[in-house]
Amino acid sequence: MKLEICTNSYLSALNAQEAGAHRIELCSELSLGGITPSYGLLKKITQDLTIETFVLIRPRSGDFVYTNDEFEIMKQNILLCKELGVHGIVSGVLHSNNTIDIRRTKELFELAKPLSFTFHRAFDLVNDPYEAVTQLINLGVERVLTSGQANTAEKGLALLHELQKSFGNKITIMAGSGITPLNAHLFKEIGLTEIHSSASKKIDTNNADSNYFGTSIQIYSDKTIIKEFISTIN
């Protein structure tokens, strides 16, 4: 089983590499569900680190229905990621009726080639997950990140199991949301080969200006938690 760590900073990415994670998904603003990270962070990580790096392409928080301008930004960010030498793209587009926007998702998928492509947790909003995963397979998407359409992957375990049994030989079903070293074995037991977690720890910086800036809490991926994950899934 592979462990993908969702990282929102250079420290988190470094911790993931040093603790033995198999891959990172790089993003910013974890508290908002993640958006595309900055150019500086991308460049620093691709220059300094060797861990397999997938990048979230999401121009803003909120829904996954994008304007033409937002879609152009997404495409430009994919081209930038390819220039910097990342290994994969994490993205996707929906229609307002919560079905996959096949045309736009295909355009992103084709633009990302030859990089690996993961359809992100927009999948958890679709009305028919079986139809949606079939559409992604037909597009050639390698992987879908999902909580089994529940608040946490553990609560969505039944659907994850069904998706794995029905489609796991055609697309990688990667579980994410609320996965910890204590419940990671559940996903291995149903046959999943990849899990996704931030393995995060929160620290209060006690910044005197925290009220002005909104928060003094920092979130980072913790090496001890990642090592516990590796021990569990092995």
Helices (H), 10-101: 10-19, 39-48, 68-84
For residue 59, whether the previous peptide bond is cis, meaning omega lies within 30 degrees of 0, is no
Asked if residues 42 and 26 have their Cβ atoms less than 8 Å apart, the reply is yes
Which domain, by its residues, includes 225? 2-233
Residue type, 165: K
Q: Tell me how far apart the alpha carbons of residues 108 and 76 are, in angstroms, rounded to a whole number.
A: 10
The DSSP code for 33 is T
Q: Counting every residue, how long is the chain? A: 234
Q: What are the C-alpha distances in Å from 66 to residues 117, 135, 145, 149?
A: 19, 20, 20, 21
Q: Tell me how far apart the alpha carbons of residues 162 and 234 are, in angstroms, rounded to a whole number.
A: 23
Q: What are the backbone dihedrals phi and psi of residue 128, each rounded to the nearest 5 degrees, phi first?
A: -125, 95
Q: What is the CATH number of the domain that holds 77?
A: 3.20.20.380
Asked if residues 233 and 1 have their Cβ atoms less than 8 Å apart, the reply is yes
Q: Tell me how far apart the alpha carbons of residues 41 and 55 are, in angstroms, rounded to a whole number.
A: 11
Q: What is the pLDDT along the chain (234 residues), one digit of tens a residue?
A: 999 999 999 999 999 999 999 999 999 988 777 899 999 999 999 999 999 999 999 999 999 999 999 999 999 999 999 999 999 999 999 999 999 999 999 999 999 999 999 999 999 999 999 999 999 999 999 999 999 999 999 999 999 999 999 999 999 999 999 999 999 999 999 999 999 999 998 776 665 555 555 555 678 999 999 999 999 999
Q: Tell me how far apart the alpha carbons of residues 112 and 83 are, in angstroms, rounded to a whole number.
A: 11
pLDDT on residue 214: 54
Q: What are the C-alpha distances in Å from 4 to residues 58, 211, 229?
A: 18, 34, 10
The pTM of the full predicted model, rounded to 2 decimals, is 0.93
Burial of 98 (0-12, 13-18, 19+ CB in 10 A): middle
Asked if residues 93 and 104 have their Cβ atoms less than 8 Å apart, the reply is yes
How many structural domains comprise the chain? 1
